[in-house]
Structures are given as structure tokens and as C-alpha cells.
Structure 1
Amino acid sequence: MKTKQLKHLMKATALAVLMSTSIPTFAQSNNEIVAVVDNSVILASDVMQAMAQMQQQFAAQKREVPPQPYFAQMALEQLIDRQAQLEQVKRYNVPLDEKTLNEATLAIAKQNGFKDLESFQKSIDSKQKGSYANLRANIAADLSLERVRQQQVNSRIKISDQDVANFLKTPQGQAALGTQAHVLHMRISGQNAQAVAEQVKAALQNSNDVNEIAKRFSQNGSDVQGADMGFRALSDIPAELSARIAPLASGQVSELIPSTDGIHVMKLLERKSTEKKVIVPQYQTRHILIKTSEVVSPDMAKQMIDNLYSRLKNGEDFATLAATFSNDPGSARDGGRLGWVNLGMMVPEFESQMKAAQVGQISQPFESQFGWHILQVTDTRQHDMTEEYQQRVARQILAERQFNTELDNWLREVRNNAYVEIKDPRLDSKKNPS
């Protein structure tokens, strides 16, 4: 489920809690167990609450509420699916911090006209005691479900470098990057269209004069039309034609393209991208890190880094000290070198020092969440990352395409693998179809 869908579900959950709705349902105790899902149970009261929520959604969408028996079955099926997924949350022990839960709850409070959590809690608890706690529990479950879905579905998405390269050659890939193509277009119809089209293709390989080519071959019952389409976004060209243009090199002519209105031939004159170059500053950086531990107290770590700073200022070799004393094993074995670093790769404290440093200058000791650092920027450059940016965009698009399919597959597997026992036969769609 995507973030937008999650927000919609959370808002609907809030409405279900905030609005008191009386729904007639099957005559039984609210505490009666109507279904068992793995190690959890679903009560009649849960079904009634789900029906209340669904009724609000139907009303918002101006849809008619289904007949009562079928409506109750729908609600139970949604609860079973949800509970099966919540069992996965238990299995993977997904953590949820209080700050995230408060932010999500406050967002719902503001959607309903409240400025803070305190007034929100008082309002909904005044209608029914415990409603606020129930709402927070539902929001926490929604957030945890979203994290499990993201983790499990993303682990299934596999995109190779070849997938990215292939996508960037397609019209969709070119369109995503803002690519435009200057194209000549010929259409051949009438008598002997196939033979004439072959001749037009040969002529187009040696000439860009579409009007002359059209006039030369429009005879003996053949109709040849030509046009210089100028620069056009590939997304603005019919898919069956843009698919043939995307792989062409400049000056290359396409194969013959049969269609209902004749045979088409395309020639790519030039390709350009409306995307600007992605130029980013990079810093060639090395550092020394001293961490605190069970045997190294914060004061000891500070003393050690200060001592190393003094030794560096006295002319000792940075690489040697990093290799000997740095607690960052990945860089220590290479004299503290981190290679070329982009902005956004490091924690804020490190990045701030890195940006402020002059080339060759050794920074004063500074602290981050990882410990005490000394860094040195040995070089800077403006690096063209357009290709990397394009590949990242392609991966995002391909991942988005795969996500919904893999999400559906995962949801199906979770439900199929769950133990489900419906206690009330009136709510079992298999035994009692409505």
C-alpha cells in the first residue's frame, strides 16, 4: 500500500472513531468470536466497527451500501486480510517509535480541525471513553503494516543494470528523461505499397528532402506523403512509431512499419534532451574516527582525538595515523580515504566541516553520532552526474512498475498461508454466498 493510500486509510479510521454510527448487524454479543486468524481472533464488535468505517467510505464516494449479509462478509474479509498482515508485523518485530506515532496522530487531528493532541484526545474520548487509545493503536498498526509491506515487497523487486539500460532506450525511458527527436516521416499507401516503401526507404537514407522523395514516388497508383516533424517529444509521437524511433542513431532510417493506413518509414536526424546537466560538487576526503566504547569513555575519546590532532599539526602523516588509530575499518585500511564524497552522503556534522574546509586543511576535532572525527579535504571538483541521475530515475520508474504487482503477490501469499477459521457460517462467503 502506498503512502497516499495509507493516509486515506488512516483518515477513514479516524472518521470511524470520531463519528458514532449505528449499524444493524447479526444478533450476537459484541465480544463473540466470529473468526480466528493464526494466533489472533476477530470479534463481532470488530466487524461492526469495520462496517461503520466502510459505510463512511461508501457515503463519501456516493456509493450505495451493499445488502446487509454481503456487507458484513466484506467487512470480515477485510479484517481477515488485515489481521493476516498484522501477524507478519509480529513475525518481523517491526519497531515503531513514539515520535513517528505522535506525528501521524497529529496529522489526523489537524485533518479534523484540532491543533494539538490534547484537545483531540479530549474531544473523541468525550464521545466514547478509550476512543483515543484505540485510534492510536490503529494508526500504529497501519504504520507498522506499511513498513512490513515496504520491506517485504522491496526485497522482491529486482532491477538489473541491463534492465535500466534497456528501459532508457525505450520511448517511455526517453520521454521520462525529456528526450526530443527531430524526425522525418514518410507514409506510403496505394498500389505496390511494399515495393514502393522499400524504394522510399533507400532514398531516405541518402536524402532529407521529404517533399522531393514524396513527389518522385507518388505515381502509378502509389501515394507517398512526407513530413519533417521537427523536434518532438517521444511521448507526443504515437507509441507504435516512437518505439521504432527510440533505438535509432542519428541519421539512421527505421525498418518499414506496416499499419492500417499504409506503410511508414522514419528517419532520425537528431536527438536532444531538455534535461539539464546534473553537475554536483564532490570532495575528495579522508578522516580519522575515534569511537566511544565499553573501554573508551567519552572523555578518553576526546583526549585521543585531541592528541591525534596535535600530532597532525606537528607534521605527522595523516594516512599513517588513520591506519593506526582510526575506528572506521572501511577507510582506515586505506589511510582514512573516503574517496569522492557527494553532499548528502554524510551526517550533517561531517558535511558541514567538509564544506567549510579548504583543500589540504586539517579540520579541528568535531563530534557526530559516530564519535570524534578529524577530516581533511584533499581535492574538490564539479562532477557531471547526469548519467547516474538518469539511471536512478529509470530504476525508480521500473521499481514503481514492479511494486504493485509484487505487493499483490505478497498479499495473496500472506492470506493463503494464514490459518483462517470463520466461526459464524453466515459470515463465510464460501458457505453462505450472498
Structure 2
Amino acid sequence: MMNPLQIKKTLVTVITGFGLLLSVNAYSERLDRIVAVVEDDVILERELEREVTTVVKRIQASKMEMPPWSVLRKQIVEKMIIEKLQRLLAERTGINISQEALDSAAADIAQRNNMNTQQFKTELESQGLSYQDFLSNLRNEIIINQVRGKEIGSRVNVSDSEVEHYLETQDKFGEESTQYHLGHILIAVKEAASSAEIQKAKAKADNLVSKLRAGQDFSQAAISNSQDSNALKGGDLGWRKIADVPSLFSDIVSKLSQGEITEPIRSPSGFHIVKLLEVKGIGKAMITKTKVRHILIKTNELIDDAEAQKRLLALKARIAQGDDFAVLARAQSDDKGSALKGGSLDWVAPGDMVKAFEDSMSKLAVNEISEPIQTQFGWHILQVLGRENKDNSDQNKKNFVKEAIRKRKIEEETELWLRRLRDESFVEIYEDRI
């Protein structure tokens, strides 16, 4: 039988434990509250808290100034809404990623960081990030990229005439020797905005430009005010060549001095503010070109891999004894296009040939003939006839401009598409829970 003192201690323990249980349950219920309704889905407070933790760690690691708590949380909620809308669209259109593909993508990221998967997990944990959260974010990123590719990428094309026009009108491509590190802030305006709403956004952009020119930190201002996908990165667009800068302000950027900030630039999405953070030049693009010829034997019902290798070894022996490579190629090669030219593939640049062929070619001395090698086309022997270093700047310029124009078009289309997707969707935000 307990004495009065024991009974009192027991009651205190029970009451304290009951209070703690109520507190834990109340906290759990709070985390299960809905922060926002997005179409037929929701964002829970626990999801918001998890995302806030991730973003705060990223901002702290980058040494950027933390914006006011309420502003940061609103920006994160908007980011989550946009991502949720894209994931819902992915579900409706049947876009998904298998666990195998996800694991492979994660392994590739680890490898690019010179780690195996276990080392990468350990590194993430040392930074306070769980591997499962990383995989979840990676899955979302891949799915969203696939959605954007389907919705936007297939509609964007770049013609050769666009490339030539760009090269002709941009001072002989002289500006392409320069790279620009840019900061960007978007004050968004809805597509169907009223005149008063447009003027309000313009006034906000003008006021922000004045503050920035007076010394306000650009990254902090972007986190607090920008309404584009780079907001939580401090508005950092990274290093870009001029053809990779959105066409809306590419002409302006090339005339900015380092550290200079533009006036607000109007677009269908709203008002853009751009800062030139840094600028640097690049050199010529030198490559090694190789003059090569080959003889191809394809496999079929009558010629298996062993027979193809046997025939090529016999041809190699005949060449060593004095037979002419070109004559044998014309008579024996199954690559009819090059056979007419004595097996010649002429001068090839890095990346022109399939990997197995290029790997073998790169190991050969001039005039040396390879052992038989296999590619998806069949079995080959090849001979390197010469090598020379070439300034590939002109072709690089064309390739670069074509890809940069495409990326620029995709970026501009994506910005408009995301604003339209947000404006046309049902979204209700519970402000008091943010």
C-alpha cells in the first residue's frame, strides 16, 4: 500500500505525463493542418516546415542574409504551390519515374561529386539532410523537368536562319567571348491584370530599384520580393553568355557595367530587375581533329562476331604485306558510303564518332591500323592518317548560339507557362497558418 507521499508523486507523474501527451497531440494536429488547397490536393503544415528547414539551411550555407520569417515562408509556400501544380499535371498526363531510374540518377550525382552512394548518404547526413528527403526532392525535380519538356520543349525549335541572323547582327559574335554573372528579380503581374494592378507592380519595382542602388543587398531583396523560380537562390541566374540571356534584356546586359542595376523591364510576366554581378572573357576553342579511314564488316545470319573478326584480321594481314587499304575498303567494306572513298571518313572532331570507335582511334599512332573493334554498326578495323589542332571557334559559336537560343526560348516560355498555370488553377492559402 502506497503512503501519501508516494500517492502524491504518482499523481504528479500522471498529470505531467497527461499534459505532455496533450502537448504532443496538439503539436501533431497542428502539423497536420492544411496550409493551402491546390486544385484537388493540399499542402500540409508538416510539409511546409520540412521545406522551410531545407531552404533555411541552403540560405545559411550560401552566407546570404535571411529575410523576415513571414516573407520567407510566403515565398516557400508559393514555390510549393507551383511545384504541386506541376506534379498534379504530371499525374494527369501519366508522367512518373521508376525507382530504378531514380536510384541511377542519384548514383550519377554522387559520382559527379567523386563519391559512392554510401559516402554521398553520409555527406548529406553530415549536413543535416536525410537521403530519403534528397531522393524525394530529386524525384520531384526529374518529374517536373519531364512535364516542362512535354509542355514546352517540344514546341521550341531553332532554325539555322535564326542562328545566322544572330551571328550577323551581334557584331560578328564578339560579345560571345564574354560571360555575364546575373542577378534577377521579377515583380509578377497576372496576364489579365488591371491598369491599377500594373501600376502598383511598377511602383513596387521602381521603389525596389531605388533601394538596391542605395545599397540594399540584392540577394536578400530577391528572396523577399522576387516571384520567379530563382527567388530562393537570391535571384542568381549564374554565368551566361549573351545568347543565353533572356532576349527581353540581352541588349541591356551587354551595355551594363559590373555592379550596375537596370530600370524595371516590362514583359508579359511583370517587371524584371537585373544586376550585372560579374563579367569575364573566354579564349579560343582548340580541338584535335583526326583523319581516319575504316573497313566495316556487318554481322548477319551467315556472318557472326567470330567470322567478322576473322575476315578483318585477314584484311589487316594483307595490308601489312603491301595491299592497299583503300582498294580493300572499296571491295570489302559494308559501309558503302565510305567504301566509295577508299574507307575514308575524312577529318572527324571529338564527339563525331561513337564512343568505341573514338576510343580506339584516339589510341592509334598515325598510320597505325587497329585490331578489330565492335560498335553497334558491326566490326571495324581503322587507320589514322593524320592529326591536327584546329580552332573550332566558328563551329562552336554556331552550336553554342543554337543551343543558347533554344534554352532562352524555353526559359521565356516556361516563365509564361508557370504564371498561366498558377493564375488558371484553384488555389486557396490559409494565411494565418503560414
Normalization by structure 1: what TM-score?
0.50
Structure (1 or 2) with the larger CA radius of gyration: 1
Task: Give the TM-score, by structure 2 length.
Answer: 0.50
Q: Identify the structure with the greater helix proportion.
A: 2
